[in-house]
Amino acid sequence: MTDHAPFASYKSCNLCPRRCGADRTVSRGACGMGDAVFAARAALHMWEEPCISGERGSGAVFFVGCSLGCVFCQNRSISGGSGGKPLGVRELSDVFLRLQDESHAENINLVTASHFTPTVACALADAKSRGLRVPAVWNSGGYELPETLRMLDGLVDVYLPDLKYVSSELSEKYSHAPDYFEVACRALDEMFSQAGEPVFDGRGMMTRGMIVRHLVLPTHADDSRRVIRYIRDRFGDGVYISIMNQYTPTGSPPYPELCRPVTEEEYDSVVDFAADIGVTRGFIQEGGTVAESFIPAFDCEGI
């Protein structure tokens, strides 16, 4: 195992739905990154769903860059491609093992790692060969290609994707991705085919399965209901649905409707709709989630 393994996928990159074709060994792709993995934090994170964070915390590794680029991103300080430290395959594998062995993390939570999939898959395989036992969680925006996700088959245990929009108008406006819904639907199908029905250990921690997250945006509860309807109709009780109210206005979004939090009425209308259509496996959030204090410090802790 070499520390900086070459990956042909980065030479003419089509790892994500942008299919930018960039030679990331010499320049940056649509994700804002070259071929070197950069991470900005690797530490316990207590604010995931209860079956992910548990009592000890999820071992969250936050990667720099993103191929989606939502205008309301809470992690914008790193998602644009700035910050963090470079990590080779063995160094990243070491980070996973430290989170398990020294921090006693419930799992390894890979946050926005899609644009580094070949390297991360290699690091996961290496860590598992050296004693990684806790589940690996793939925490993503849902805008991914099935063929890229197949690199993770047998390595990732729990999928934690977003399904952000049904409306192509909204996805183009806020994420510059009019094809978001159709792309994400195919990605979720691939994730479910790998992870299958949810499995929990004796402490209630998810060890296999999929939780689909949806962040309710201000003024767009109608589209949120369409998202919940799709997940329920497609997967039934085979997945958990996490309905989130934690949208936090940060910086100066270019759209006035995004400059306020979600109201209780908006959020409750989505939660009530989910109950009305028979969603029984899921998570909701109660007050106190709209705060910048829930955005971790990307200070390279644990890297």
| pLDDT given at position 140 | 98
pTM listed for this prediction: 0.96
Q: What is the CATH superfamily name and number for domain 38-294?
A: Aldolase class I (3.20.20.70)
Contact 213, 194 (CB under 8 A): no
Enumerate residues 6+ apart whose C-beta is below 8 A from 56.
44, 103, 104, 105, 106
Number of Cα atoms under 13 Å in the Cβ half of residue 255:
13
Taking all residues of the chain, what is their mean pLDDT, rounded to a whole number?
94
Q: How far apart are CA 72 and CA 258, in angstroms?
A: 8
Each residue of 81-113: pLDDT tens digit?
A: 999 999 999 999 999 999 999 999 999 999 999
Q: Is the pLDDT of residue 37 over 50?
A: yes
Domain boundaries, the chain: 38-294
Q: Is the pLDDT of residue 2 over 60?
A: no
**Strand 240-244 to strand 108-111: parallel, antiparallel, or no bridges (unpaired)?**
unpaired
Each residue of 138-173: pLDDT tens digit?
A: 999 999 999 999 999 999 999 999 999 999 999 999
Q: Is the pLDDT of residue 16 over 90?
A: yes
Each residue of 238-280: pLDDT tens digit?
A: 999 999 999 988 765 689 999 999 999 999 999 999 999 999 9
Torsion of CA 20, 41, 161, 255, to 10 degrees: -70
> Can you tell me the mean pLDDT for 9-32?
97
Each residue of 279-289: pLDDT tens digit?
A: 999 999 986 56
Q: How far apart are CA 66 and CA 159, in angstroms?
A: 18
